[in-house]
A and B are shown apart, each in its own frame.
Chain A
Amino acid sequence: DAKTTQPPSMDCAEGRAANLPCNHSTISGNEYVYWYRQIHSQGPQYIIHGLKNNETNEMASLIITEDRKSSTLILPHATLRDTAVYYCIVPPRPAGSNYKLTFGKGTLLTVNP
């Protein structure tokens, strides 16, 4: 399964856009990129996912590079409530592979007033 690399921490000013990068250089052609976030010690929450096209929903936008080796999660107008750990994951595809779903350590985004 594709491993992901994220910076351990980032800061953002309230009201500004938060851009969280993720590297997944070993991603396969049919593997999706998923983003989750975890506020304090709550259960992680799904944000968005994508394959190759950019995606947007009410929470965020996901920009995936053309070669699919990296992506960026964008929170367009960050608020203090967006302070959380953000995880980028690439779930493995089937056909005999295992289905381990590794989250790693993610990026701690701190939104400052």
Chain B
Amino acid sequence: EAQVTQNPRYLITVTGKKLTVTCSQNMNHEYMSWYRQDPGLGLRQIYYSMNVEVTDKGDVPEGYKVSRKEKRNFPLILESPSPNQTSLYFCASSAQLAGGVGGELFFGEGSRLTVL
């Protein structure tokens, strides 16, 4: 079954304690992306990756890091989490069609993170 898997689904942590949210897709997609969703603000893009070793900032990258060492994985790293990073996080992937980004985006189920 085609899917994007995120872990953990729920996490409560404390300020400053490094954490990683993993994202894995089994569709051999080139494009992967992280979003955060906050009430009243919609889905905002944090980082995206066009392929292995190719990443770039989205609209709200501050406080986050990513890496893309393998095609299937795109972890989101919070080196020193702060309360303003409390949010619902989504990972997504899509096939990069010839000529550019497009195609159906597949989303994970979300990771709800609370930073105390």
Interface residues of A (CB under 8 A from B): 30, 32, 34, 36, 38, 41-46, 49, 87, 91-95, 98-106
Closest to A97 in B: B100
Interface residues of B (CB under 8 A from A): 4, 31, 33, 35, 37, 40-45, 48, 50, 56, 58-59, 88, 90, 92, 99-102, 104-110, 112
From B40, B59, B101, B112, give the contact of A102 (CB < 8 A).
B59
B66 to chain A, nearest CB (A): 14
Chain B binding surface SS class:
strand
Verify B88–A93 contact, CB threshold 8 A: no
How many A-B contacts if CB must be within 8 Å?
Answer: 73
Chain A binding surface SS class:
loop
Closest to A103 in B: B43
Verify A92–B88 contact, CB threshold 8 A: no
In the complex with contacts A43-B90, A44-B43, A101-B48 CB distance below 8 A: yes
From B44, B88, B100, B105, give the contact of A46 (CB < 8 A).
B105
In the complex, 13 of the A-B residue pairs with CB atoms within 8 angstroms, ordered by the A residue number, are A41-B37, A42-B109, A43-B109, A44-B43, A91-B102, A92-B101, A93-B99, A99-B31, A100-B58, A100-B59, A102-B45, A103-B35, A104-B43
